[in-house]
Structure 1
Amino acid sequence: MQCGVACLAMICSYFKKDKSMNYLSEQCFATTEGVSLLAIDKVASQLGLETISGRVSVNIICNLENPCILHWNQNHFVVLYKVKKGKTFYIADPGKGLVKYNFEEFKKHWISTQSDGEEKGIAMFLEPTPAFYEKQIDEQPTEQRSFKFLFSYIKKYRKYFGQIILGLLMGSILQLILPFLTQSIVDVGIKNQNIGFIWLILLGQLMLTISRTAIDFIRRWLLLHISLRINISLVSDFFIKLLKLPMSFFDTKLMGDLMQRMGDHSRVNSFLTQQTLSIVFSLFTFSVFSIVLLSYNWLVFTIFMLGSLIYGGWLALFLRRRKVLDYELFEQQAINNNKTYEFITSMQEIKLQDCEQRRRWEWEDVQADLFNVQMKSLKLQQTQEAGSIFINELKNIVITVVAAAAVIHGQLT
């Protein structure tokens, strides 16, 4: 709902003069319905920007020198900041980030009418005047946040996190011992036909498995204790900040948006308490087993490292697209929450006005849009998983073949 304000902030930033979203939102008198092109035009003029707005053809857009604001999909504003050879259009979308479209995709989203035999869309061109750089506007500086702000919630539980990390290290060491025990069963027990030694090693493996399971149970209890407290702290701080905001803030936010932000605190909590520890554990395990592989055979180690790098590169290819879809999903879920909330709380008015069917159709339209975004997310996830599984399995097969050949030639036991 702040897309027009965000576009104006991007234009100001392009011309080397940053303006805060809060200030621009107040000047534009943004509401839950967003802002109009007229409101953006008035505020831009107040800032010292010269504006020209109207319906223009694609040919004019292709010759732009500075970024311009476009009316997108008849319900949204974006910034067009670059056109490459009249075929590729680079868009800064407040809801999706930096996206590029081909000619047909661009026309589909932007074109709104046809006049004089030409397809046209609405655009606003902005140029800075000397007044834009001379005007000094008194506005409160925006507080910059970093990951230090998030990790401040962890500091209170350093003792528990230390215990969890210690448990992870112990689990990794126990997991490291298992391959050597399996090797000794084959190389010593089976080769020498020593059944007593085999039973001893199997008993040792059983004890290691029980120890790893116990450590994992303790780690999960500690994580539950920490995650619950951190989640309460996050939501409580969110409420504290929300209650300090002026009434005008709630004129620009939908109820569903606020509810979705509260729900997203669980993702932040998961990142702090689970995913961060999982990354540390994975890096430690990766390093340990890489050393083990290198001690056995350098060729197997090289194949393992090469396969892991390709695997990581494949995942990195999808990060940007997943980020865009995540923004889309958040926006659609917020709209869905808001429609559901309105539908339930306005039941009496709906019945009095006899508009049950229309409101139900509106809710179903939102569900269809949400389903489409979820379908796109699932397709991307399946494509990523298919490539990941193929790369991982191919790496394992090649390692198995190389290791078997090394055993045949006497290079490995």
Structure 2
Amino acid sequence: MRRRTSITLLSVGHACVDIYQGTVAALVPLFVAERAYTYAAVSGIVLAATLLSSIAQPVFGALTDRWAMPWLLPASTLLGGVGIALSGLSGNYTLTLLFVALSGIGVTAYHPESARIAREASEGSHTAMAYFSTGGNIGFALAPLMVAGIAALGGLSWTPLLVAPALAGTAMALPVLHALARRGNTTRENTTRAGRDDVTSFVRLTFAVVFRSIAFVGLGTFISLYAQHRMTGSAAAGTAALFLLYLGGVAGSLLGGSAANRWGRVTVSRWSYAVTVLAIAGVVWAPGPAMYLFVALASAGLYVPFSLQITLGQDYLPNRVGTASGITLGLAVSIGGLASPVIGVLADATSLRTALTPLILMPALSWLMFRTLRDPEASKRPLPAEQQEDPAPSSPVRVD
């Protein structure tokens, strides 16, 4: 199978999985409308999707570092879909949390192995990895549209229809697994990269990922409700804001991969986080429909570094690519859910605007982390001709 075909299939499969990460936030207004959940209660649902996955993410990464587990791609995709499909069927809050948590575990299990396989298939190309990440962004963007369709059909009782992307994603994974089996490329020896692990840099990168995650998940959880409040209670206004938040990531990921080829991953990420500080401030404080412009800018700004953080993590931990992928790709979304209940409780006590204001600080903290990082690829690039040292002059030849 050619590289382009493999990346395309992996990207589509990634979209089918990440639909379920986006669906959790998209279902929040339905839970509020149909079950009268408070902000804190719906934050608990987001927490259920992320808490176990945040714990399990490094575990799955470590397992994939030790053993090749390509079968996780179809199995985890199916689990992610089944959990969400069942989440709307019971009015029992505990069962809802359980089903959403099962979906979160499925999504968690998918990311470390899929990122390892995608990096291998991309042959180190930042652009190819950006396409893989963009697949997940497209999945996020489709989630609110799918949930809007469910709402139009009759609400939470129709969530079993949401299993359809999981079935499609499972089908997309099978040809990739078949190609891997034919090449015999399923052992650690073929995927372990030579090099020394830079744990210190990876820890700093992880903090940047955590701060980004808090900003992204916080916006994803409450932007729909916030837009409804700002736009006189219109449900369509909330769906549009969430769709825009996820869709902007498509442009951001592609832009990040292209820009990194020219200016380097660390430099591009640093500038992106600096711009995102202003963008999130606009989301929270800009008047009227201008909010939508800042939602798009914040989305792009948060996603420009997304695929770059994945490959940076893999380069910082070349001997533990699965662990690096699990943290930078999986925790980039999941760990932000741990902060969502705090935002929800603050919103119940004050207002959504007050609760969302601290998110402005998150990309600033990510920017500070990137100020301390260097790009491992920088030392491998040849210097421009004008900066290269002239060779030592040869000794003059004596002519008798």
TM-score by shorter chain over 0.5: no
The structure with the larger Rg is 1
Q: Give the TM-score normalised by structure 2.
A: 0.28
Q: Give the number of the structure whose residues are more often helix, by fraction.
A: 2
Q: Which has the higher contact order (CA 8 A, sep 6+)?
A: 2
Q: Give the number of the structure whose residues are more often strand, by fraction.
A: 1
